[in-house]
Chain A
Amino acid sequence: MARETPGRTRTRSPERPRKRASSEGEEFLHELETVSRGVRDPVAKLRFIRSSLARHEAADRMVQKVRFTPVRKVMYHWLSLEGLRHVLGGSRRDEAAPVTIATRVSLAFGRAAVIGLGLMVGVGVGVAVYRRTRPPAAPLMAAPRQVGAPAVTAPAAGAVPPPVSLAPAGVAPAAIWLVEKGPQYELYSNGLRIDTGLAVKGTPRAYRVFDEDGRLDPHVQTAPVGLLFHTSESDVWPLEAAYNENLRGSSQGLLRYVQHNRLYHYVIDRFGRVYRIVSEDSKANHAGNSVWAYDGKVYLNLNHAFLGVSFETRWEGGKALPITQAQFAAGRNLADSLRQRYSIAPEMCVTHGLTSVNPTKRLIGHHMDWARGFPFEAFGLPDQYRRKAPSVAIFGFDYDDDFLKVLDEPWPGVRVAEAELAAEARRQHRDVEDLRYEKQTAYDRWIEKQEDPEAPAGRSTASTSRPEGLQ
């Protein structure tokens, strides 16, 4: 607030002299002003003043019937305090209310007087009623009955604790359901709490799927069929109290950026808080050029088909588990919840690094987050690193020295796909590179077809060779 300047400018019209406040209306306003001066928060003060003025007429009619001025003033003051109490939202919040100590004391006195009066009346009535209708003796408390609750067996004393496992312990809910929904959050029965305050809508989800023969399903799908795990590659601070502000600031910056660019459906920050950023019925820009396949179906560019879940961390070549315990627990709960909600097959839960491709250079590993080190097993998922790499098997994509600088060795699924390519080339008495090239050009045709909204269903191209199936 601005300070009062020392010099005072006084201008006054001689023809409009004013009287001192003396009428009943001015008494009310005077008391209203006195009480409102004790409110420190501008919004609370504005609410108090406006609501008091609105109630003024009704209250005024009542109080003006009192002839004795001092009593009238006390009543106006009391009414103002009651109005303030109403604005501040009830007696339990008075301790933290934005009012001065003097006002707080006035509120307390006012309340004490009302409570005292109420108690006296209440006790009197209560005693009278009790004497007339004394009830027979009965137990004060009954032990609550356990109805069908499964018992949790405590481990025997001295028993060897099980090896450290990332599998969930304790009683798991039979299903995951939405327990509670507030304006800024959702709470699920497996403990998952989603902060929804940042959620934004994006382009509605709509995609089509290829079969192994390159036929594009004419039906447009609108439900997600997979989960794609990412790392945010943002700044990561040590998980120590001394860096608390850096940790918080970094997360906030990341969330803003992700929201602005609609990058992921979910972000899990370093403290394990789950934020919904892009609504689940929209696509997020998380996957880019990417390939995955399962159960005879091939998915290209996974922004629409897959939900993007990003852990706030840097992957750093996957040399260590790069997420915190809190992130792990939250990530597992989130994955379980999404998988149940959309009936997502475990084989369709994969990482960005395993799917990302560079179509211009025909290379895998364009983005490499989680290209190694994602704890699939702990998430209750099959080891996707061992699954045959669809980008290699179907489209003959390769890897280069830069890829090997990061990973040393491609993940096992790449080797499996390469072996299959070699076997196929041998069968066809062809050079492997020749076969690769043929498959790589097929990728362009598939993509072209996918991006063409008028594309008819059926075989994708009149290509000389049909892309090979996966499994």
Chain B
Amino acid sequence: MVEERKDHLWKVAQEAEDRIDDLMKAGSNPVGLDVGTSKVVAARRKGKEIDTGSQLNAFIPVPYSRFTETILGQNEISYYRENGELIIYGTATEKFANMFNANVRRPMADGLINPREKFAMPVLEAILQTLVPKARAQGEVLAFSVPAAADGKDAQLTYHEATLRRYFESLGYKAVAINEGLAVIFSELEDNNFTGIGISCGGGMCNVTLAYLSIPSMMFSIAKGGDFIDDSVASVTGEQATRVKVIKEDGLDLSKTAKDKYEKALRIYYEDLIETLVEKLQHSISQADKLPRSDRPLPIVISGGTAKPRGFKEMFEKALSARMLPVEISAVRMAADPLTATARGSLIAALYEK
């Protein structure tokens, strides 16, 4: 079959999807990748700036029909055909989930490749493919984030890391795994010589790392994140989790009084998440073998989509002040861009490894 695509040449569009394409394909710089349960974010250096692109790490299968496939093709929605189904993946998934009033499915759960999802790897690879093309030069560095092992999940983390590493290496990259919390420190605590506590609150879990001069002293994760909040609120309100997510992301303000049952429930589960996080932080620091030999108080920086609602930081500070931590905290602050901090930090790790 002869391919003849030239007629489309002048249709080079400067749209969002193209921006991702541009980001991923324009330069030969190292790549930083935040492989999160909810989103995959890629960062690449473009001149003096850092450019980022993201895809929702989710998919939804719909029954195959020629009509549906045509519609998907016309709307440039990412999909592939698998037996009798069309697997819609990436950012468009959410739109379809809302349209069909169904929950999206995720290739990852609790920060790791979802062992209960048969489409996990094919979909994850398809999503990664939209952000990371083959390496131009063999051995180009790609740093991807991995969570800290949750209790009893060491083996699963090993599998997750090795699977991703193998995939990126098959694309020609030198793949380097970086702890998610450390990536946040790299991204946000440069002024503190990479000393402090980095917290990433993502869709599947929250990751915490304490580092001194870029060397991690303590790291842990809790298996609670945005999905936990969405599912919990959905279960008590009878609403679809996908819909709860929309409500949550549609300007939720935790500093204000809740105005309906959804916001009330969201507030309760946010408090629960933060309480669990701070409790574990206190416990982990107390149990840490080697703490920083520093006289100065440590800053805490929070990132991740789950930490985005207004009032999250204040809620966290309140929970923190109620407990006595074994280290002095200088300040709690939000990352400059909570959604891309991990990817940016991963990029710094990639550039360091270059």
A binding-site residues for B, Cβ under 8 Å: 1-5, 7-16, 18-21, 25-26, 29, 32-33, 36-37, 42-43, 45-47, 49-50, 53, 183-184, 197-200, 230, 232-235, 249-250, 252-254, 256-257, 259-261, 263, 285-286, 288-289, 301, 303, 367
Q: Smallest distance from the beta carbon of B61 to chain A beta carbons, Å?
A: 27
Q: How far is the CA of A256 from the CA of B336 in the complex (A)?
A: 30
- Return the contact of B194 from the options A14, A45, A285 (Cβ within 8 A): A45
Q: Smallest distance from the beta carbon of B214 to chain A beta carbons, Å?
A: 5
When distances are taken between beta carbons in the complex, the residues of chain B under 8 Å from A254 are 9, 12
Q: How far is the CA of A5 from the CA of B300 in the complex (A)?
A: 11
Main secondary structure of the interface of A (DSSP, over half): loop
Q: How far is the CA of A301 from the CA of B214 in the complex (A)?
A: 58
- Given contacts A13-B324, A13-B325, A25-B293, is CB(A43)–CB(B188) below 8 Å? no
Q: Check B299–A49 contact: CB distance below 8 A.
A: no
Instruction: Write out, one digit per residue, whether chain B residues 1-36 have a CB within 8 A of any chain A CB (1) or not (0).
Output: 011111011101010001001100110100000000
Q: Check B333–A5 contact: CB distance below 8 A.
A: yes
Interface stretch among B81-89, B257-265, B315-323?
B315-323
- When C-beta atoms are compared, the residue in chain B nearest to A259 turns out to be B25
Q: Smallest distance from the beta carbon of A9 to chain B beta carbons, Å?
A: 5
- When C-beta atoms are compared, the residue in chain A nearest to B14 turns out to be A253
- Return the contact of B213 from the options A32, A235, A260 (Cβ within 8 A): A32
- When C-beta atoms are compared, the residue in chain A nearest to B24 turns out to be A256
**Number of B interface residues, CB 8 Å?**
56
Is B237 interfacial (CB-CB < 8 Å)?
A: no
Q: Check B336–A2 contact: CB distance below 8 A.
A: yes
Q: Smallest distance from the beta carbon of B305 to chain A beta carbons, Å?
A: 16
Q: Smallest distance from the beta carbon of B18 to chain A beta carbons, Å?
A: 8
Instruction: Write out, one digit per residue, whether chain B residues 312-354 have a CB within 8 A of any chain A CB (1) or not (0).
Output: 0100010011011111111111111000000000001001100
In chain B, positions 283-313 with a C-beta closer than 8 Å to chain A are 286, 293, 295, 297, 299-301, 313
Is B245 interfacial (CB-CB < 8 Å)?
A: no
Q: Check B3–A199 contact: CB distance below 8 A.
A: no
- Given contacts A36-B193, A42-B190, is CB(A233)–CB(B6) below 8 Å? yes
Q: Check B137–A12 contact: CB distance below 8 A.
A: no
Is B247 interfacial (CB-CB < 8 Å)?
A: no
- When C-beta atoms are compared, the residue in chain B nearest to A3 turns out to be B333
Is B166 interfacial (CB-CB < 8 Å)?
A: no
When distances are taken between beta carbons in the complex, the residues of chain A under 8 Å from B188 are 1-2
Q: Check A11–B5 contact: CB distance below 8 A.
A: no
Q: List 17 A–B pairs whose Cβ atoms lie within 8 Å, in order of A's numbering.
A: A1-B191, A9-B330, A18-B295, A42-B186, A42-B190, A42-B348, A43-B348, A45-B194, A46-B214, A46-B348, A233-B10, A252-B22, A254-B12, A257-B9, A260-B25, A263-B9, A301-B2
Q: How far is the CA of A7 from the CA of B215 in the complex (A)?
A: 27
